[in-house]
Chains A and B, each alone.
Chain A
Amino acid sequence: MNRILLGIILALYSIGTLHAEDGDAELANRARGASAMSIQLMAADLLDELVYSWTKNPPLGMKARVALMGVSVPVGLNAQLASLLETHVTQLMIKNPQSGIIPVYCAACVAVTTYSVRDKTIIARGGEIPEISQTLKNQAAFALYIDIEGQGSQLVLRSYIVSLNDHSIVYARSLATDSSQPPSLRHAVNLVSADDARREYLAILEGRKRLSLSLGIRTSVIQTSSAVVLTPPFVWATLGFETFANHRKKWLADFQFGVASLKGDHNAWQLSSRLYRHLMLEQMDLIAPDVYIYAGPAYWEINGPGTALFKDDAKLTPGDIAANLGGREYKPKAHITAFSLGLEARLADFMRMGLYVEHFTNQNQNANLKANIHSYGIELGVVL
C-alpha cells in the first residue's frame, strides 16, 4: 500500500515537473493577454482624447481626406492589437466629422510599392514615395501616422499628419497616460473630454440617492409552538428611497413601503428601513456582485385568513390554521413589528438575492408562537 502511495506521489511530482515549463509559458501567455487588454483600453482612451482635441481644434483647419497609415503598437504586442486600434480610431473619425478629417481607405498609400526609373529603384509605401503619392491625390490628401508605445509607467501616443502634396508634416501631437489612470471608456459618438467622462463615470459610481422599486418573491419559515410552518412564496413589491451614507458606498440606508399578497391567505403592507454595510468594498466594481449585510426595523399590517397565527387571543392547532386558510368569512388583521438581520447580494445593481432572519418583537405573548420567535426566509428580486 505504501509503495502504491509512494508511486502515485512520485508520478504526480514527475508530471508536475514535466509540465512546469508549460505552466510558466501558459502563465506568461495569460499575463500577455491581460496586459494587451489593459493596453487596448488605455490606447483607446488616448485615441479618444486625440480625436476629441481634433473636434475642438481641427488639425487641418478644413475638411480633408486623410488616409490612416496604420497604428503602431508597443514593441512586444502583436498586429491584432493594431487592427483593433485602427478600427477604433477609424470609427472615431467617422462618428466625429467635426474634426474635419474624412477617413479614406487608400490601399495604394499603405501598400509597399516599388518605384523604378533609370537610375534608381525605391521600395516604400506608396504614400511615402513622392512620385507615387502625386498620383493618389484623388484618393487622399493627407496621411495620418499613429504610434503607441509603453515607456516606464506611461503609455505614450504620438501622431502626425503628412501632406501628400509636398510631404511636409503639417500636424503633430503627443499624448500620454499612466498606469494608475483608469481609462475613461468614452462613447465614440459626441466625444466628451476626459474630465467630463470621468465625472459621468463617478456620477454612475457614486449615484447616491435613488428611488428603488423592488419586485420579488419572499418566503419565510415560521416556528410555531407546535410545528414549523413554511409560508408559500408570495409576491412582494416595494417602492422606496435609498441613499448611500458616504460617497464610497460603504453604508446604504433605505426606506421602503411595500405590499405583499398571497391569494386566499393574506394581503399585507409594510413600512421598513434597513441599514446596509458593504462587505467587500475593495473588490467593488460594476460587474462583480455587491454583498451587503443589513439590519433594520419593519412594521407589517396583515389582513386575511393567514393572519390568524399572529392573533394571540386563541391558541390554534395546525388543523385550525389550515381551516382558517380556507375560510372566506374569517378575515382577521394583525400588526407585526419585527427586526431583520440579513445578507444580500446585488448583481449589477439590478438583481438582488437575500437571506434574512426576522425577530417578531411584538409577538412574545403570542400563545401560538414560540417565545423569541424568529422567521427565516429568502428574498429574490430586481431593483428597477
Chain B
Amino acid sequence: MNALLVLVALFVYLTAPSKDHVRSGIDLADRGRIDCRLSAADGRKTVHGSGYHEDIDIDYHSNDSAVSCQSLVLAAIHRPLATELTLNRLDSFAQRVRASIDQHFAQRVQLWTVSVFHSDDGLRSKILTAVKVELAERKLPLAQQSPQNRILSAEVSSLPDTCRQLDFKDRSTGYLLIIETDSEASALRAAACTAEGWMWL
C-alpha cells in the first residue's frame, strides 16, 4: 500500500506541468536594481521567453499592459547616482545634440570637433565617445579633437567669449562643446562655436 502511495506521488510529481517557464517573482535582494519598461499591448499575440524557452504564447487583450523588467547590467557595482544618471541619459542626449546640429547647421559646417568639459575625467571620455559615435554614425564629418586649440583648453565660464575671439580662417569648421552645467543634477548642455558665433543648442 505504501509502495503504491509512493508510486502515485512520484507519478504526480513527474507528470506535473513544469513551472520553469514562468518567470519567478523579482527578488530585489538577489537582483539588485532592475530596469523596467511599461508598454500597453494592443491585442497582438506575444511570444514570451528567452531563446531557451520559446514554448509559451500569451494572448493579450487590448486593455492589457505589459511590464518588462531586466536586471541592471552592472547591478552589483555601486556607482554614484550622478554617474548612473549621466550614463543612462547618454544616448538620448547624444541624439538630441545630433538633431540640433542637423536643424541649425545642416551642411554649413563641414568639419566638427567635439570637446567635453566635465568635472569627472572618466565620464568626460564616455560622453565624448558617445557624442562622437552618434554624430559619425549619422555621417556628420568629424575630426578628432586637436589638443592645441584655444577653445578646447579655455575655462568653462569664458567659453562664449573665447569663441567670439576665435579667428575662423576656415568658415566651414565648427566646435561642438558639451558642458556640465550642474554636477549634482548631472545636467549636460551642448553649445556650438562656429564662424557665426556662439550658440547654445
A and B: bona fide binding partners: yes
Chain A residues engaging chain B, CB cutoff 8 angstroms: 28, 31-32, 34-35, 39, 42, 72, 74-77, 120, 122-124, 128-130, 145, 147, 149-156, 158-160, 162, 166-169, 171-174, 178-180, 182, 198, 202, 205, 247-248, 250, 277, 281-282, 293
Is A174's CB under 8 angstroms from B133's CB?
yes
* Measured CA separation A167–B50 after assembly (Å): 43
* Measured CA separation A162–B133 after assembly (Å): 11
* Measured CA separation A172–B126 after assembly (Å): 15
In the complex, given contacts A166-B143, A169-B142, what are 20 additional A-B residue pairs having Cβ atoms less than 8 angstroms apart?
A31-B76, A32-B77, A74-B74, A75-B123, A76-B74, A120-B148, A124-B147, A149-B90, A150-B77, A151-B73, A152-B88, A153-B70, A153-B73, A160-B132, A168-B143, A173-B133, A178-B70, A179-B72, A180-B50, A277-B14
Contact of B73 among A31, A152, A167 (CB under 8 A): A152
Smallest beta-carbon distance A297→chain B, Å? 16
Contact of B35 among A152, A169, A172 (CB under 8 A): A152
Residues of B within 8 A of A151 (CB): 73, 87-88, 90-91
* Measured CA separation A56–B27 after assembly (Å): 42
Chain B residues engaging chain A, CB cutoff 8 angstroms: 10, 14, 18, 20, 34-35, 50-53, 55, 70-79, 83, 87-88, 90-91, 111, 122-123, 125-126, 129-130, 132-137, 141-148
Is A160's CB under 8 angstroms from B148's CB?
no
Contact of A180 among B70, B83, B132, B137 (CB under 8 A): B70
Is A128's CB under 8 angstroms from B51's CB?
no
Is B136's CB under 8 angstroms from A281's CB?
no
Is B18's CB under 8 angstroms from A149's CB?
no
Is B74's CB under 8 angstroms from A35's CB?
yes
Residues of A within 8 A of B77 (CB): 32, 35, 74, 76-77, 150
Smallest beta-carbon distance B27→chain A, Å? 14
Residues of A within 8 A of B73 (CB): 39, 42, 150-155, 178-179
A33 to chain B: closest residue by CB: B76
* Measured CA separation A250–B20 after assembly (Å): 11
Contact of B144 among A123, A128, A182 (CB under 8 A): A128
* Measured CA separation A122–B74 after assembly (Å): 36
Contact of A169 among B18, B20, B55, B143 (CB under 8 A): B143
Contact of A32 among B18, B50, B76 (CB under 8 A): B76
Smallest beta-carbon distance B3→chain A, Å? 10
A199 to chain B: closest residue by CB: B51
Contact of B53 among A149, A153, A167, A248 (CB under 8 A): A248
Is B111's CB under 8 angstroms from A39's CB?
no
Is B72's CB under 8 angstroms from A168's CB?
no
Smallest beta-carbon distance B104→chain A, Å? 21
Is A160's CB under 8 angstroms from B76's CB?
no
A34-B76, A149-B87, A158-B130 known; A173+B20 contact, CB < 8 A = no
* Measured CA separation A186–B50 after assembly (Å): 19
Residues of A within 8 A of B53 (CB): 248
* Measured CA separation A343–B52 after assembly (Å): 26
Residues of B within 8 A of A128 (CB): 144-147
Contact of A205 among B52, B122, B132, B148 (CB under 8 A): B52
Residues of A within 8 A of B147 (CB): 122-124, 128-129
Is A150's CB under 8 angstroms from B18's CB?
no
Is B144's CB under 8 angstroms from A281's CB?
no
B146 to chain A: closest residue by CB: A130
Is B144's CB under 8 angstroms from A72's CB?
no
Smallest beta-carbon distance A224→chain B, Å? 22
* Measured CA separation A323–B146 after assembly (Å): 98
Is A169's CB under 8 angstroms from B136's CB?
yes
* Measured CA separation A178–B74 after assembly (Å): 11
Smallest beta-carbon distance B50→chain A, Å? 6
**Cβ contacts A to B, 13 pairs, < 8 Å:** A77-B74, A124-B147, A147-B126, A150-B87, A153-B70, A155-B73, A167-B146, A168-B144, A174-B134, A179-B72, A202-B51, A248-B18, A248-B53
* Measured CA separation A123–B147 after assembly (Å): 8
Contact of A147 among B14, B51, B125, B141 (CB under 8 A): B125
Contact of B143 among A42, A124, A167, A182 (CB under 8 A): A167
Residues of A within 8 A of B126 (CB): 72, 75, 147, 149
Is A169's CB under 8 angstroms from B132's CB?
yes
B75 to chain A: closest residue by CB: A35
* Measured CA separation A155–B20 after assembly (Å): 27
A250 to chain B: closest residue by CB: B18
A32-B76, A172-B136 known; A281+B146 contact, CB < 8 A = no
* Measured CA separation A180–B34 after assembly (Å): 12
Residues of B within 8 A of A156 (CB): 91
Is A174's CB under 8 angstroms from B122's CB?
no
Is A147's CB under 8 angstroms from B76's CB?
no
Residues of B within 8 A of A153 (CB): 34-35, 70-73
| Most chain A C-beta atoms within 10 Å of own C-beta, residue among B35, B50, B111, B134 | B35
